[in-house]
Amino acid sequence: MNDLHIPIRARLTLWYVLLMGVTFTALSVYLLLRFENNLRNSIDRSLQITVVKTIAALDEEDYRETGKLTFDHINPQWEPSDFAMRLVSNQGETWDSYGALQSGPEWGAPVVGFSTLTGSGEMPDWRIFRQPVLDSTGQVIGWLEAAQSLETVDKTLDDLTSQLLLGIPLLLLLAGAGGYFLANRALSPVEQITNAAQSINLQDLSRRIHYQGAMDEVGRLARTFDQMLARLQDSFERERRFTSDAAHELRTPLTVLKGQIEVTLNRARSSAEYEDKLRELLEQVERLIRLSNALLFLSRSDQNRVDLKPADVNLTGLLGVLIEQFQPIADKKNLRISTHLADELSVRGDNDLLIRLFMNLLENAVRYTPADGEVQVSAGGEAGRVRVEVHNSGEGISSEHLPHLFERFYRVDEARSSRSGGSGLGLAIAYEIVRLHGGEIAAHSEPGRGVTFTVYLPARENSQPHVRRLSPQRGQ
Q: Mean pLDDT over residues 236-257, rounded? A: 75
pLDDT in tens, 169-206: 999 999 889 888 888 887 887 887 788 777 777 667 77
Q: Looking at the predicted structure, is the pLDDT value of residue 391 above 90?
A: yes
Q: Mean pLDDT over residues 135-145, rounded? A: 87
**Rounded mean pLDDT of the chain?**
83
Closest CA to 90 of 133, 152, 48: 133
3-state secondary structure of 202: coil
> Comparing 30-34, 143-147, 160-164, 199-203, which segment has the lowest mean pLDDT?
199-203
Q: So what's the pLDDT on residue 456?
A: 96
Residues with Cβ < 8 Å from 181, sequence gap 6 or more?
none
C-alpha radius of gyration, the chain, whole number = 51
Is residue 211 within 8 Å of 190, Cβ to Cβ? no
33: burial class by Cβ within 10 Å (0-12, 13-18, 19+)?
Answer: exposed
Q: Helix %, strand %, coil % for the chain, to 5?
A: 50, 20, 30
Q: So what's the pLDDT on residue 230?
A: 85
> Comparing 153-162, 266-275, 418-427, 429-438, which segment has the lowest mean pLDDT?
418-427
Q: Which residues pair with 474 in a beta bridge?
A: 336
3-state secondary structure of 400: coil
In whole angstroms, how far apart are CA 35 and each of 117, 156, 166? 21, 10, 18
56 versus 101: the higher-pLDDT residue is: 56
C-alpha 147/C-alpha 100 separation (Å) is: 9
Q: Looking at the predicted structure, is the pLDDT value of residue 97 above 50?
A: yes
Q: So what's the pLDDT on residue 41?
A: 93
> Comparing 216-230, 240-254, 354-368, 371-385, which segment has the lowest mean pLDDT?
240-254
Which of 78-87, 285-294, 438-447, 457-466 is modeled with the greatest confidence?
438-447
pLDDT in tens, 49-87: 988 888 888 888 878 878 888 887 776 666 666 888 888
Phi, psi of 215 (to 5 degrees): -85, 60
Q: So what's the pLDDT on residue 238?
A: 73
Question: What confidence tier does 23 reach under pLDDT thresholds 50, 70, 90?
Answer: very high
Q: DSSP per residue over 81-135, as a string?
A: TTEEEEEE-TTS-EEEEEES--SGGGG-S--SEEEEE---TTPPPEEEEEEEEE-
Q: Looking at the predicted structure, is the pLDDT value of residue 432 above 80?
A: yes
**Domains defined along the chain, listed by start:** 8-157 (3.30.450), 217-302 (1.10.287), 310-474 (3.30.565.10)
Q: Looking at the predicted structure, is the pLDDT value of residue 368 above 50?
A: yes
Q: So what's the pLDDT on residue 344?
A: 84
Is residue 284 within 8 Å of 318, Cβ to Cβ? no
Q: Which residues pair with 343 in a beta bridge?
A: 466
Residues with Cβ < 8 Å from 347, sequence gap 6 or more?
312, 313, 315, 354, 386, 437, 457, 458, 459, 460, 463
Question: What confidence tier does 467 reach under pLDDT thresholds 50, 70, 90?
Answer: very low
Closest CA to 107 of 92, 122, 89: 92
Which of 182-191, 244-253, 263-272, 368-377 is modeled with the greatest confidence?
368-377
C-alpha 298/C-alpha 360 separation (Å) is: 14
Phi, psi of 436 (to 5 degrees): -65, -25
> Comparing 45-59, 136-150, 220-234, 337-351, which segment has the lowest mean pLDDT?
220-234
pLDDT in tens, 312-362: 999 999 999 999 999 999 999 999 999 999 988 999 999 999 999 999 999
Number of C-beta neighbours around residue 408 at 10 A:
21
Closest CA to 319 of 352, 349, 348, 341: 341
Is residue 316 within 8 Å of 457, Cβ to Cβ? no
> Comparing 154-158, 190-194, 422-426, 472-476, which segment has the lowest mean pLDDT?
472-476
DSSP state of 73: T
> 3-state SS of 244-289?
HHHHHHHHHHHHHHHHHHHHHHHCCCCHHHHHHHHHHHHHHHHHHH
Question: What confidence tier does 1 reach under pLDDT thresholds 50, 70, 90?
Answer: very low
Closest CA to 12 of 213, 182, 141: 182
Q: DSSP per residue over 156-181, as a string?
A: HHHHHHHHHHHHHHHHHHHHHHHHHH
327 versus 251: the higher-pLDDT residue is: 327
3-state secondary structure of 429: helix
DSSP state of 396: -
Closest CA to 469 of 320, 336, 362, 331: 320
C-alpha 286/C-alpha 306 separation (Å) is: 23
Q: So what's the pLDDT on residue 475?
A: 44
C-alpha 354/C-alpha 321 separation (Å) is: 13
Question: What confidence tier does 463 reach under pLDDT thresholds 50, 70, 90?
Answer: low
Residue 330 falls in which region: left (phi positive, over 0), alpha (psi -120 to 50) or beta: alpha
Closest CA to 468 of 387, 392, 379, 384: 379
In the chain, the largest separation of any two C-alpha atoms, in whole Å, equals: 165
Strands 140-149 and 336-343: unpaired
